[in-house]
Structure 1
Amino acid sequence: MEILVTVAAPSARPDREGAFPSRHIGVTDPEQLGSMLERLGYADLDALVDAAVPDSIRSRDPLALPGDVSEEEILAELRALAAENVVMTQMIGQGFSDTFTPPVIRRNVLESPAWYTAYTPYQPEISQGRLEALLNFQTMVADLTGLQLANASMLDESSAAAEAVLLMRRAGRAPESARAVLDANLFPQTISVIRGRAEALGFEVEIADLTEGLPDGEIFGVVLQQPGNDGSVRDQRGIIAEAKERGAMVTVIADLLSLTLITPPGEQGADVAVGNTQRFGVPLFFGGPHAAYLAIRSGLERSLPGRLVGVSKDSSGRPAYRLALQTREQHIRREKATSNICTAQALLAITASMYAVYHGPAGLRAIAERAHAHARTIANSLAGAGIELASDAFFDTVVARVPGRAEEIIAAAAAAGINLRGIDADTVGVSTDETTTAEHVAAVVAAFGAEAAEAAAPGDLGFAGDLVRTSDYLTHPIFRTIRSETQMLRYLRRLADRDLALDRTMIPLGSCTMKLNSTAEMESISWPEFASIHPYAPESQTRGWRKLIAELERRLVEITGYAGVSLQPNSGAQGEYAGLLAIRGYHRSRGEEQRTVCLIPASAHGTNAASAVLAGMRVVVVKNTETGRIDLEDLRAKIDANRDELAAIMITYPSTYGVYDEDVREVCDLVHEAGGQVYIDGANMNAMVGLAQPGRFGGDVSHLNLHKTFAIPHGGGGPGVGPIGVAEHLLPFVPGDPTGTYAVSDGVPVVATLFGSAGVLPISYAYIALMGGEGLTLATKSAILGANYIAARLTEHFPVLFTGETGLVAHECILDLRELTAASGVTAEDVAKRLIDFGFHAPTLAFPVTGTLMVEPTESEDLAELDRFIEAMIVIRGEIQEIIDGRFAIADSPLRAAPHAAETVIAGEWDRAYSREQAVYPVASLRVDKYFPPVDRIDGAFGDRNLVCSCPAPEAFEN
């Protein structure tokens, strides 16, 4: 039957030339649209979408959002918002310090698409540049903390401290009833986050003044801070030794810059150190994103949360980097997970590591000495005026007791352009940093009404001699040989060239939505009016930020159909956790504390189960049918078996199988009838924007991945933002203010700073404004078109595992290789590695079904790129057939040897069963612009058996 395809401009297509949606969406040309739709058998785009998306969930009203604006207009709007923020000299401290980002790093890392558009390094052969940078980060942290191993990285300091407490609880030998003891001198936000984790998991936390010694009773872990909340620097060896004698482990929250001067936690006997690397060149960003760190002593490797970069070798014996011990990945372990951390702050960790490379050990120490000297000058001046200080031993923070004068002093400093920390009516904190000058010091002293003392000498340390660091650090040549900007520029370029990011090629990863991150969207985040604002600056100085955040929340409410949104969670997993805590708080407020069972379909995202466990829930898995839908019979049975204890169900929608479940409303109704709540994982929200609203087809709470659906770049594994949208009845239980009291009241969770990773929110704000309601809806439709086009073109070569009732997929499709593997021995991993030779990042490997590849093209890819990927897959299918036909043994095929590094192809004799040309130019177009991976296939097992997680010596690369 001949199908008449009419492609007049789609109803949602912008009608003005050069409108931003036509730049964001890859296929808008009528001829190209027509050819794609003809292949699928649909007359127009709306007909395809009507067939693919169940009518039962559709929202027919257009999104009530401002119309799409131009790039010039959004930049002007953001300039106006930024102008409402007041840029001050920030001396508030409390874990956040101003810093100079070296321009060569700002321009060539933070603002470079080669770095910020990269994906998590699950395919290490095409991630050697960022893996080297992250290994530098791990080495930097391990050296400075005096511990043997560090991860790369954590989300923020407070949640890193909470993860450390959980690590001590599971790795120690204390009885189940033992408690954690937190020094009262921790930052308030850290205490709040730890108490929230403990309350959910049902163990006790005690806050105590540990200068008086440890409290009596069973203790599994102790948390100290150096310097403390009052700025004091103490010798902690005694309290650490006492804790060890009683069978407890010890975590020290340490300021990394201070460790260039102070004896590090590892040398004082600590088991774990955590903290933030923000002051290593990462802007304040109104609270985040910043890369936190977690370092451990030897023996705790397999308990370490987060990602760990290790050194292995490739098939030619070259040293090569990879993520080590990946069986620890929490989405793999599901309900057996010990953490729900499934991402990191990679882009910020890379920035911090390059800051250390740029300055080297001597430069870092000089920065620390200058900040310390300014703090000493302030302290000497205040003491000379008879003002009492909280401590006479400190690093960069001076806390002064000024009975009844705090407000007056803070106002006087503000009049001079300086923000100080008001602790209470009688106490003021002053924190110095890299940007502090003698003029700032003089103004602060004057605000106290004191006379400036003689400036302290940078090398004259103001704490006890036995606390002065004597051990060396950052001894690897990478921290000691790059000094000129020319060297730094070339090092950053060399690492970037070793990677394959979105600026080179499509990254067709299912469930990860690697779409365009436009330059206009990115541009404003490094403006000082946004980037230089302290998270605890007075509200009067942050009006622009608060307006932007409130308007972004309003627009996300419109898109999702929920009653309210909280932007505090700083990753998707943190959003899951916060959403589940909101559900938990709601049940408890109704006297239903017994509701702790969380139903999770097999088709849900892997972190769902891990987050449920951390929220104190018991996971019960619900089966899926062979067609990928939730098994309603099994669901009813699980509900009946757990009716009184049912807290929630977590649904990923569309499911990770890449289909819209027709029965989703019935699933929601069944759970609600039993008294449970419905959590709809919004990681795949890019398949619903403008077409369906989870808050209106049965959801009570959803998290969104702004780093996916709403255009924040993945950054090699982070930054991320995972806000939650909630129904009206859950509004009282969204994340609260982390600087409030230590108590967690009424189940209100705290997961990060008040607005989480606020620094990247202008990206999503700009994206929504640039696209407008019609453009966002068209983006969703285009994503559905692209996925179905790939599925239709490839299904005769690789069967598509799941489709909906109309034979269509949602925004992604799963290619099933299992029968081909049985016939040829070629695995899905072989195909993933061979795609590197074609210049592609692989699709999602072996998730959610082993032996498959999950492909998501996104709306940003043009038809030529989609066809290039399809061509590559068809050629690979032909290579598989050659094995089936007996032309090659699997061991001798280009698939098993892939990928092929340039050195491997050009060096020496070529004795393989296939030609050099087939190895590296399997299609003619590659001759024009060929990406060569820097290494051959990496031996992961070798790296796990021989765990090396810090920078190897240069000699390792000589042969």
Structure 2
Amino acid sequence: MSLDYAARHIGTSAADHDTMVAAIGVPADGRRAVERFMDVAVPAVIRTGSPKGAGLLPQEGVSEAEALAELRVLAAKNRVLSPMIGLGYSDTLTPSVIQRNVLENPSWYTAYTPYQPEISQGRLEALLNFQTMVGDLTGLPVANASMLDEATAAVEGMLVARRAVRGGGDVFVVDADTLPQTKAVLAVRAEALGIELVELDLAGGAALPEGIFGALIQYPGASGRIWDPSGVVDAVHVAGGQVVVAADLMALTLIASPGSLGADVVVGSTQRFGVPLGFGGPHAGYMAVRTGLERQLPGRLVGVSVDAEGKPAYRLALQTREQHIRREKATSNICTAQVLLAVMASMYAVYHGPEGLRTIATEIATKTALLRDALAETDAEIRHDAFFDTLSVRVAGRADAVVAKAHELGVLLHRADADTVGVSIAEATTTDDLKLVIAAFGGTAPEQFDAALDVRGLPEGLVRDDEYLTHPVFHTHRSETAMMRYLKSLADKDYALDRGMIPLGSCTMKLNAATAMASITWPEFGRIHPFAPREDVPGYLEMIGQLEQWLADVTGYDAVSLQPNAGSQGELAGLLAIRGYHRSRGDVQRDVCLIPSSAHGTNAASAVLAGMKVVVVATGEGGDVDLADLRAKIAAHADTLAALMITYPSTHGVYEHDVRDITAAVHEAGGQVYIDGANLNALVGHARFGDLGGDVSHLNLHKTFAIPHGGGGPGVGPVAAKAHLAPFLPSHAFAQDERHRTGIGPVAAAPYGSAGILPITWSYIRMMGREGLTEATSAAVLAANYVAARLKDHYPVLYAGEDGLVAHECILDLRPLRERTGITVDDVAKRLIDYGFHAPTMSFPVAGTLMVEPTESEDLAELDRFVDAMIAIHDEAERVAAGEWPADDNPLVNAPHTAAAAIATDWAHPYPRELAVYPTGSVAGKYWPPVRRVDQAYGDRNLVCACPPIEAFA
């Protein structure tokens, strides 16, 4: 095996493994330490490994240079043309300062979701900029910190409208001029929830039906038409419904905001704000709402609060809405956001400011008007007089010929039907592109276009005249020097993997290798429209096919869909596949989903959104599923049982020995087994879901397969299934591979979801090979057990298997410490910041605990540094219990300590400053949190979700 990459990815060496296995207490027997350890740690009943076979996962990995060379060959098979298809995807220009300092910067892409706000102030500020940008442009007061894509945001908008109209009907009206992919995703999601979709030509004056709870309007329309929807908005309100508007943010710099026209919810995509096309993603969707709907918002909301000194500090607001608290009562299953892309979009607005955005939009509108004038000289008919960036052009019977000619000339256009061609202008569209389009229509382009900016395509009554982006942040960083320093200052406030270990249980914060990241900005991957013709994307399709095959191999399934663009959406897709399977067999009554009480909250939320009823199964004292209770629940719901959702290893970090008995019991009752793939990092190369009795699983490529978390996204959540469920996996009418056009319909806007980051996982698997992936699993499980062994005398390990070992994560019980000393799990988490660590997962799945997952990426020195910090914190807590420090004034309850606090003239605490800020005695590499402990409750009581005035920081 080539260890060139695997040895660099796995932090511990063979010598380290000897030390770690000895600490755990596994006796030597002449074999490698990690081999004999895994023989004990992984139950024999689940061990199946992965079969070897031609065309499946390569046995050995390749070097980094070899992987990049192979990827170059694949990329070269894609043809980069000028993408003028439109339909919600625009050819944008990413400012180099943002590409280099955000997208390619590990300070941004290796960060985790900002659940620990004190060490996330930089990305929280960036997201607050995003919310302010969206709120200003949409004309609504509150926006969230990004959605997965525009189609998903439209679905969530529909659900917000439904919740806002209590006792209303089940009809949701969709404007006929809505993006086709949005209509398709709405149809899939509405059907599962019993919502009736009615498509109407709202601009044409179609009458609203009875029983509506809301309506969706595309503004501007998919055809490019701009019209005043305020009359329809009023009519929907009179009928008792809510109005969702899907809007183009770039157009909103020039035309009236939806909020000013009466919209209740506005959704869309921020892709054209500097985020590459990437064959469909990842892109940050957005949602903004009117006053009164703030607490209905799905996803994440950044708010302003204060820290322990009363100074402004950012944090995630209204976290009680999270799925792990509300579970089956959750109104959305959205878990991850698209933070990295939201940061890029927000910084695009910060860099250009309102004047720059208006200029970009005006240039787009001008080029569109110039093209309209030139095409009007041909026999083509321009369908709409009012437009921004898109023209719908009628050429009787010649649409195919025009699109083919444009393709021959190097431009991609949209064939709407046999008589209609769509043309969309973007920031990156050149006048040479316009000339090629004119030639494709059979016209003659002028030698030189009029250079004067002109927005004559906009309707006079809808020209925007109010100010937006007035906050100083959108007026300060105009030079590249200033922008670079702003981005650096924000990154310096944060803690990411480039500073140290992030030992988050359930989240697998392994390193995302620079080599694996290298290709995502290549134009052959980044500048490809998701609806480009098949002949232009053979490299993408080959890479996707290989990934499908490799992932099926390591999971034991027969088919894989890469479309879901988050783990939660993979869950939903898998449950919809089960639902579709049962209905195809006439078992429409099967709608009960059994879920263990320990499961991640998105499991229950996804089940409800798939039209299922959740029945909770108890877990035993050891963290395993209670088999007796499971059998009782199966018997009680035998005729209506649709599925069981379990996580393996369990959410408690344990390999369950009776997993095969569990899956067999469900199958005997006619149900299907969904195995949540969140913990696949503990199985790859050693066991496979499909061999354990799983029928379908989602995987988290941002966890097990090394796609970056990016501060809370992007993610990819492929769904893998056995052959009998394969016909019910996600599909898409625009999929380039005909295999992916048949199924339940789409769960994401693009055929292959966030395809632009799939080269990362491709590279990771290609460089690791089967042997490297197996070694990575072994190293991860060994690291977790080493940490558990060294800490068990200080913090009880809550759950372990029959052999006394854990899987890839361990749960440390801090409740005895609290009872003895008064020190809480929050105090320990915040004190870890002073020691230079991100805290483990707090109070999930058990309140008052820390769940630790060290991953395979960390070396032994870092593991020991973390263990030593946890032991030192334990000893500090004991000093509080002994009365050495007061319960309300000690290093733990006051943590974290900022530099400003340390140098304050008045130091009235009973412990020394040195202990507060240099608890290990070392001053090297000190991380200084920018704020003291954040007051979470204050921020919820005083909800502020846009950039505060500068005076607040005085």
- TM bucket, shorter chain: over 0.9
Q: Which residue number corresponds to residue 41 of structure 2? A: 52
Cα separation, 1, equivalents of 2:129 and 2:165: 29
Alignment deviations for residues 775-827 of structure 1 (CA, whole Å, 9 cap, x no partner)? 10000000010000000000000000000000000000000011111121111
TM-score w.r.t. length of structure 2? 0.97
Alignment deviations for residues 690-717 of structure 1 (CA, whole Å, 9 cap, x no partner)? 0000011100000000000000010000
Are 2:939 and 1:950 equivalent residues in the alignment? no
Q: Which moved more, 1:49-58 or 1:561-570?
A: 49-58
Are 2:620 and 1:625 equivalent residues in the alignment? yes
Cα separation, 2, equivalents of 1:296 and 1:214: 25
Cα separation, 1, equivalents of 2:49 and 2:11: 25
Cα separation, 1, equivalents of 2:734 and 2:515: 34
Question: Which of 314, 323, 326 lines up with 2:319 in the alignment?
Answer: 326
Q: Where does the alignment leave 5 or more consecutive residues of structure 2 unmatched?
A: none
1:540-579 mapped onto 2 (5 Å cutoff): 540-579=535-574
2:81 partner letter: M
Question: Which of 183, 199, 217 lines up with 2:191 in the alignment?
Answer: 199
2:712 partner letter: G
1:382-781 mapped onto 2 (5 Å cutoff): 382-452=375-445, 455=450, 457-739=452-734, 747-781=744-778
Are 2:22 and 1:38 equivalent residues in the alignment? yes
Alignment deviations for residues 471-520 of structure 1 (CA, whole Å, 9 cap, x no partner)? 10000000011110000000000000000000111000001000010000
Q: Where does the alignment leave 5 or more consecutive residues of structure 1 unmatched?
A: 1-13
Cα separation, 2, equivalents of 1:504 and 1:332: 31
Cα separation, 2, equivalents of 1:563 and 1:26: 33
Cα separation, 1, equivalents of 2:435 and 2:362: 18
Are 2:10 and 1:25 equivalent residues in the alignment? yes
Q: Which residue number corresponds to residue 935 of structure 2? A: 939
Q: Is 1:582–1:748's contact at 8 Å kept on the other side of the alignment?
A: no
Alignment deviations for residues 718-761 of structure 1 (CA, whole Å, 9 cap, x no partner)? 000000110010010000115499xx997445333110000000
What's the secondary structure of 1:912's corresponding residue?
A: coil
Q: Is 1:898–1:936's contact at 8 Å kept on the other side of the alignment?
A: yes
Q: Which residue number corresponds to residue 182 of structure 2? A: 190
Alignment deviations for residues 271-317 of structure 1 (CA, whole Å, 9 cap, x no partner)? 01000000000000000000000000111011000100000010011
1:108-507 mapped onto 2 (5 Å cutoff): 108-175=101-168, 177-210=169-202, 211-452=204-445, 455=450, 457-507=452-502
What's the secondary structure of 1:938's corresponding residue?
A: coil
Q: Is 1:738–1:750's contact at 8 Å kept on the other side of the alignment?
A: no
1:486 partner letter: T
Q: Is 1:201–1:614's contact at 8 Å kept on the other side of the alignment?
A: yes
Q: Is 1:581–1:748's contact at 8 Å kept on the other side of the alignment?
A: no
Q: Is 1:63–1:774's contact at 8 Å kept on the other side of the alignment?
A: no
Are 2:818 and 1:827 equivalent residues in the alignment? no
Return the offset for 1:456. Answer: 7.4
Return the offset for 1:61. Answer: 5.0
Return the offset for 1:884. Answer: 1.3
Q: Which moved more, 1:909-918 or 1:786-795?
A: 909-918
Return the offset for 1:384. Answer: 2.5
Q: Is 1:311–1:319's contact at 8 Å kept on the other side of the alignment?
A: yes
Q: Is 1:570–1:722's contact at 8 Å kept on the other side of the alignment?
A: yes
TM-score w.r.t. length of structure 1? 0.97
Q: Is 1:331–1:340's contact at 8 Å kept on the other side of the alignment?
A: no
Cα separation, 1, equivalents of 2:290 and 2:456: 28
Return the offset for 1:362. Answer: 0.5
Alignment deviations for residues 881-933 of structure 1 (CA, whole Å, 9 cap, x no partner)? 011111122211110000001111112211101110110111123x1110010
Cα separation, 1, equivalents of 2:208 and 2:346: 39
What's the secondary structure of 1:562's corresponding residue?
A: coil
2:23 partner letter: R
Cα separation, 1, equivalents of 2:687 and 2:356: 54
Return the offset for 1:56. Answer: 1.0
Alignment deviations for residues 219-251 of structure 1 (CA, whole Å, 9 cap, x no partner)? 100100011111100011111011111111001
What's the secondary structure of 2:225's corresponding residue?
A: coil
Cα separation, 1, equivalents of 2:774 and 2:724: 28
Cα separation, 2, equivalents of 1:887 and 1:89: 70
Alignment deviations for residues 511-541 of structure 1 (CA, whole Å, 9 cap, x no partner)? 1000010000000010011100000001000
Q: CA RMSD in A?
A: 1.3
Identity of aligned residues (%): 61
Cα separation, 2, equivalents of 1:753 and 1:385: 34
What's the secondary structure of 2:99's corresponding residue?
A: helix
Alignment deviations for residues 160-202 of structure 1 (CA, whole Å, 9 cap, x no partner)? 0000001100112452x33100011101110111111110011
Q: Is 2:369–2:455's contact at 8 Å kept on the other side of the alignment?
A: no
Q: Which residue number corresponds to residue 892 of structure 1? A: 889
Cα separation, 1, equivalents of 2:15 and 2:274: 48
Q: Which residue number corresponds to residue 851 of structure 1? A: 848
What's the secondary structure of 1:924's corresponding residue?
A: coil
Q: Which residue number corresponds to residue 818 of structure 1? A: 815
Cα separation, 2, equivalents of 1:607 and 1:474: 35
What's the secondary structure of 2:892's corresponding residue?
A: helix
Q: Is 1:568–1:723's contact at 8 Å kept on the other side of the alignment?
A: yes
Return the offset for 1:215. Answer: 2.3
Q: Which residue number corresponds to residue 809 of structure 1? A: 806
Q: Is 1:137–1:350's contact at 8 Å kept on the other side of the alignment?
A: yes
Cα separation, 2, equivalents of 1:408 and 1:317: 66
Cα separation, 2, equivalents of 1:819 and 1:481: 51
Cα separation, 2, equivalents of 1:787 and 1:807: 13
What's the secondary structure of 1:728's corresponding residue?
A: coil
What's the secondary structure of 1:19's corresponding residue?
A: helix
2:940 partner letter: D
Cα separation, 1, equivalents of 2:459 and 2:485: 42
What's the secondary structure of 1:702's corresponding residue?
A: strand
Change (3 A) 1:786 1:746: closer
Q: Is 1:791–1:813's contact at 8 Å kept on the other side of the alignment?
A: yes
Q: Which moved more, 1:163-172 or 1:412-421?
A: 412-421
What's the secondary structure of 2:888's corresponding residue?
A: helix
Q: Is 1:733–1:749's contact at 8 Å kept on the other side of the alignment?
A: no
Cα separation, 1, equivalents of 2:889 and 2:791: 26
